[in-house]
Structure 1
Amino acid sequence: MKTIEERLQEHKQTLNIVQAPSELEGRLRNALEHVPTKKRNMNRAMTWVASSAAALLLIVGTYQYPAFAYYGGKLFNKIELMSLSFSKVAEQGYGQTVNKSKTLDDGTVITINGVIADDNALLMYYTIDRPAGSVFTDNGLFLYGVGKMQGFLTDSDPKEGSGGNSKDETQYEGVYKFEPVSPFSRTLTVTFSERLDNGEQASYPISFKFEANKAMKSMLEEDISKSVPVDQGTVRYDSITASPTSTIVKGHYEMDDEGYPRFPGKTKLYVNGAEVKSLGMRSYRFGEFELEFDVLPTDKMETIEIVLENFAGYQKVEEPISLASPSDQSIKIGNEKIWIRSVTKTDTGYDIVIAGKQFTILETEDLSVQAGGIVIPVSSISSSRPWDLKNGNILWEQTYSFNTMEEPERLLLDGFHYIKTYDKTISIPIDIKK
């Protein structure tokens, strides 16, 4: 099997012929306990039809889209691309030189040095130079902001940025990563902002010609179209796109209630058995999601695998739970455990303290107890609070109150949600682009 470098060299030769913390954990857990189930929007089909029609008009029209140019040389990983200056990147044959500047009223000069674009992202390299005799009193990343990248069919949000001041504090050199831009854009505009002394923000749009033939095409694009069954639906992986800036896996959820999963779970990507670093996840309407990973290794790729390590699970409770001997010992239900820590008499009834692992959420709609032969529903539920086991583990407990003068005998619970281990593997065919 040929390496990526060998494939890219073939691609270059072909194109040469062509002219062209704990408190936070508690708050997150409490928020999850009250997440409403969202329904799918029926306008999705209409949106898809409109988008398809627009795309068709562009394809059959006279708008010419130049071929992507070879982006040869050494393949940098994402971290290297975000930390290098554009001059270093350009030395390797990357990207499009821009050199478009705007001079501010005080003499400060903002310059877009160059951009690198592919199917997953656009990287913009820029510098901010202070006027003669002046230096940065603050890091430029905080003094000057970067807004959206806009153009024809393009409205891309900035995703992350990095940079720093020069040794003499007269120049800030930075790089920003944006959502991918449309290859049909001929002009792109990015808006910089400055934090003024009076607390207001000043905006400075800078436009530049975008040359798609200087951009970079993805190395690997594959339809996956495979799914993993989960307790209350399916996780479907639709596609993978690998480029020199990152690797994107797209998919969507097909939940039984047509809503969203309570926990998005963790998906890992492996190449030749080695894990590729995860860079984050984004969720969208209609249950769609994107998983971002680091760039794929540039040596020979024998296997690519997606592993759904864990995801939302649901455990149904078939039998009532005895409240006769509350203690700090766990009760195993299915593959999970809960703890009935105490049953305490109060002025208005009884309080029951129940604990579980982080993100183990009891169903409370029909939660009740049996007391004196009568079923008593829960009257109030406290916020979650940590229970430190003093052995490196922390569980989360809540107090459930019941208005009854009779001591509860059994807890009636329909089920609970939790993070379930699945460890399901999907193999992806490899077809490196020539």
Structure 2
Amino acid sequence: MNNIEDILRAKKLQIDQIEAPEELEERLRNALNTKKQVTLGNRFRVYVVAVVMVVAMLLSFNYDVIAYYSKQLLGYDQVMNGSLKQLSELGKGQPVGKSYRFENGVSLTVDYVMADENQLLLFYTIIDPSGHVDEDDISPFMSLKAFWGEYHHQNSQGNMNEDKTEMKYISSFEPPKPFEKNLTLKFSQIKQGREVPAEISFTLNRNTAMGHTLKKTLNETIKVDKTQIKIDSILASPTKTVINGSIQTIFEVVKDQLNGERLRPTDLTLKLFANGKEVSQQGRGMSTDMKGITFHSDYDPLPPDLKQLQLELVRFGADHDVNQQFRLIRTNDGDKQELNILGQKVEINKIETAQGETHITISSAEGFILSRVYLMIDEQRVSLEQTNMDKYDKLKDGTIIHTRTLRFLGTGNELELDVQRMTYTKNYQEMLEIPTN
């Protein structure tokens, strides 16, 4: 709206600066003094010409405003976040307006496209005149086919109207290569177990595509227990900011697997701060493939007046191979046995037997879990039956201690805790400065 007001204000100034010619007054006086009568027909033609001139003048003054409005995304307010709304108000992106209609009357229309170096956003509408748009299964397995390859669907968000006749979606796809122009959206409808494929082709206008605002290779490392987190790069664009990194190479994964020491990350929480304010997170992901264990964290776009950029490691958790046995000692009441499991302290509070069962009560830091554990009873392995009686106590230093009881079937004289795997999550406050120039 600010842009529209600026345009109208500029046009008003142009009108105010228009000056009448010096001879205009004399011509008007001579015309009034003539005795020639104007007929009704002549008068009508004068009115028509005047109206046409006024309309033409208004259209010429407001052409920029009309063109501006024609680029707006209508009906997507409930789906777009703040940054996308700003881009929409600036008229960024490309209208498409192509549809496909299935035999049952359900249609999918590609309304709009936004593209930058991080992603391609597809704005599309699904319409079901029967009012069952929530039941029409348009498969989420979409892709964009191009000459040089296929770009996969990453995520979607949508909003349905009250009549259940229309759904507005915004779907994110991998960004097409710079030389790709002709794209085909491949999707399908699933009805009664039958998949009905469909396609919509369109040409991507590269003049409307956006680039990046910040792009850097970082190669920074944050040390955590048993491994390192590598922050490889940052790519900020008008639609989002992406941090890419890795935890292990494929060679490290194979080595740990062979040594029986493999870790499986379960939690990696990173916060991004721009000019001292936290940037909202859009999503995150982690994968293990031929590249090793890699991750990405997605955030909102960076502010235009960027002066400082920081990345904080908040929390990291992983499941670790242990494969160790710990002999348990029956102690007197109040005495505790302490175990050290890969550097994590676990206290055995008490061991009890009741009705043919062995109950072992343990305490550890919050976030520590014995994810695969057995009890060796007189050299016989017994599986964990149940964990119960969870209790959390907060110490004066803020540490939270988790106490619970492990329940095993069977009793015996010789007991060993066979820990195959464990999971623990640890909080960090490691801050990394990211250059902004």
TM-score w.r.t. length of structure 2:
0.63
Q: Which amino acid aligns with 2:296?
A: E
Larger radius of gyration: 2
SS at match of 1:82: coil
Task: Tell me how far 1:221 sits from its aligned partner.
Answer: 0.8
Cα-to-partner distance string for 1:40-95 (whole Å, 9 max, x where unaligned): xxxxxxxxxxxxxxxxxxxxxxxxxxxxxxxxx99xxx9987369x9996552211
Alignment of 1:180-259 (within 5 A): 180-196=175-191, 198-254=192-248, 257=256, 259=262
Task: Tell me how far 1:181 sits from its aligned partner.
Answer: 2.7
2:137 maps to 1:137: no
Alignment of 1:20-59 (within 5 A): none
SS at match of 2:157: strand
Question: Structure 1: 5+ residue runs without aligned partners?
Answer: 1-72, 370-375
Counterparts in 2 of 1:226 and 1:192: CA distance versus 1, 3 Å: same
Question: How far apart, CA to CA, are the structure 2 residues paired with 1:260 and 1:189?
Answer: 41
Alignment of 1:313-332 (within 5 A): 323-325=330-332
Question: How far apart, CA to CA, are the structure 2 residues paired with 1:411 and 1:108?
Answer: 60
Match of 2:14 in 1: none
Question: How far apart, CA to CA, are the structure 2 residues paired with 1:178 and 1:93?
Answer: 21
Task: Tell me how far 1:391 sits from its aligned partner.
Answer: 7.8
Task: Tell me how far 1:119 sits from its aligned partner.
Answer: 1.8
Match of 2:299 in 1: 293
Counterparts in 2 of 1:382 and 1:244: CA distance versus 1, 3 Å: same
Counterparts in 2 of 1:384 and 1:395: CA distance versus 1, 3 Å: farther
Alignment of 1:280-359 (within 5 A): 280-284=283-287, 285=289, 286-298=292-304, 300-312=305-317, 323-325=330-332, 338-345=346-353, 350-356=358-364, 359=367
Match of 1:99 in 2: 97
Match of 1:159 in 2: 155
Counterparts in 2 of 1:89 and 1:174: CA distance versus 1, 3 Å: farther
Q: Is the CA contact (8 Å cut-off) linking 1:161 and 1:177 kept in structure 2?
A: no
Identity level (%):
24
Task: Tell me how far 1:377 sits from its aligned partner.
Answer: 5.7
Task: Tell me how far 1:237 sits from its aligned partner.
Answer: 0.3
Task: Tell me how far 1:364 sits from its aligned partner.
Answer: 7.0
Q: Is the CA contact (8 Å cut-off) linking 1:350 and 1:403 kept in structure 2?
A: yes
Q: Is the CA contact (8 Å cut-off) linking 2:77 and 2:85 kept in structure 1?
A: no
Task: Tell me how far 1:422 sits from its aligned partner.
Answer: 2.6
Q: Is the CA contact (8 Å cut-off) linking 2:108 and 2:126 kept in structure 1?
A: yes
Question: How far apart, CA to CA, are the structure 2 residues paired with 1:384 and 1:289?
Answer: 33
Q: Is the CA contact (8 Å cut-off) linking 2:373 and 2:417 kept in structure 1?
A: no
Q: Which amino acid aligns with 1:111?
A: T
Q: Is the CA contact (8 Å cut-off) linking 1:330 and 1:337 kept in structure 2?
A: no
Match of 2:427 in 1: 421
Cα-to-partner distance string for 1:309-354 (whole Å, 9 max, x where unaligned): 222478x99x987641467999797996645354123687854243
Match of 2:38 in 1: none
Match of 2:397 in 1: none
* Larger strand proportion of the pair: 2
Question: How far apart, CA to CA, are the structure 1 residues paired with 2:295 and 2:241?
Answer: 14
Question: How far apart, CA to CA, are the structure 1 residues paired with 2:137 and 2:232?
Answer: 40
Question: How far apart, CA to CA, are the structure 1 residues paired with 2:431 and 2:295?
Answer: 18
SS at match of 2:432: strand
Question: How far apart, CA to CA, are the structure 1 residues paired with 2:206 and 2:385?
Answer: 53
Task: Tell me how far 1:126 sits from its aligned partner.
Answer: 1.4
Equivalent in 401, 407, 420 of residue 399 of structure 1 = 407
Question: How far apart, CA to CA, are the structure 2 residues paired with 1:244 and 1:289?
Answer: 21
TM-score w.r.t. length of structure 1:
0.64
Q: Which amino acid aligns with 2:430?
A: K
Question: How far apart, CA to CA, are the structure 1 residues paired with 2:193 and 2:419?
Answer: 54
Counterparts in 2 of 1:185 and 1:396: CA distance versus 1, 3 Å: farther
Task: Tell me how far 1:241 sits from its aligned partner.
Answer: 0.9
Task: Tell me how far 1:159 sits from its aligned partner.
Answer: 1.1
Q: Is the CA contact (8 Å cut-off) linking 2:116 and 2:212 kept in structure 1?
A: yes
Question: How far apart, CA to CA, are the structure 2 residues paired with 1:157 and 1:181?
Answer: 12
Cα-to-partner distance string for 1:117-167 (whole Å, 9 max, x where unaligned): 11222111112344xxx3422437x543442222223331241221223x5
Equivalent in 357, 369, 383 of residue 361 of structure 1 = 369
Match of 1:270 in 2: 273
Question: How far apart, CA to CA, are the structure 1 residues paired with 2:77 and 2:224?
Answer: 34
Counterparts in 2 of 1:365 and 1:79: CA distance versus 1, 3 Å: farther
Question: How far apart, CA to CA, are the structure 1 residues paired with 2:139 and 2:368?
Answer: 40
Q: Is the CA contact (8 Å cut-off) linking 1:247 and 1:292 kept in structure 2?
A: yes
SS at match of 2:171: strand
Q: Is the CA contact (8 Å cut-off) linking 2:233 and 2:245 kept in structure 1?
A: yes
Question: How far apart, CA to CA, are the structure 1 residues paired with 2:283 and 2:333?
Answer: 41
